[in-house]
Structure 1
């Protein structure tokens, strides 16, 4: 689902509501939010990932942000981190840094170039 709004708080609220909708507490389950830098569509995609032992893992698409600026993404992530303690994993953000503190967004090289 896409959103073309430039209101970071509304987008974070929507992503959080989607997370709550799919979150079902399970003793040995791992839940995390995956943020993917889609270079081809110039967007950021959010997925809710669920991993349970002895079951297939699930990746549920939650939102596509069409505003592809790091400042805006940082604002959305900041609002989300105020609402949830889930882990965020960033994919395809190699060598990119947060504008506010100049820290690497992702220090893992997940894919070979």
Structure 2
């Protein structure tokens, strides 16, 4: 994977994350108590849905941080090298995840 392809893929994923945030705004809103229209079980279900939406938001935020770090590595010409051992990250790994910051050995806990 070339750096230009990686940059394009990372920026496209950032756009997808922004769109997912926009679409889930309503489901992350606080659940209000409306005794007249929502029963206790419905409110509990709404609170569970909200909790799942907030967890998804946290995952998107963590992924966004990884992507921005990868873009910085691209700017600094450090992309494609393991942050732990300094070896090149396998091409297949970068194609699968352009934001990967470690080689497979270091990521799995068995550095080369």
TM-score, length basis structure 2: 0.25
Which structure: greater strand fraction? 1
The structure with more radius of gyration = 2
Which structure: greater helix fraction? 2
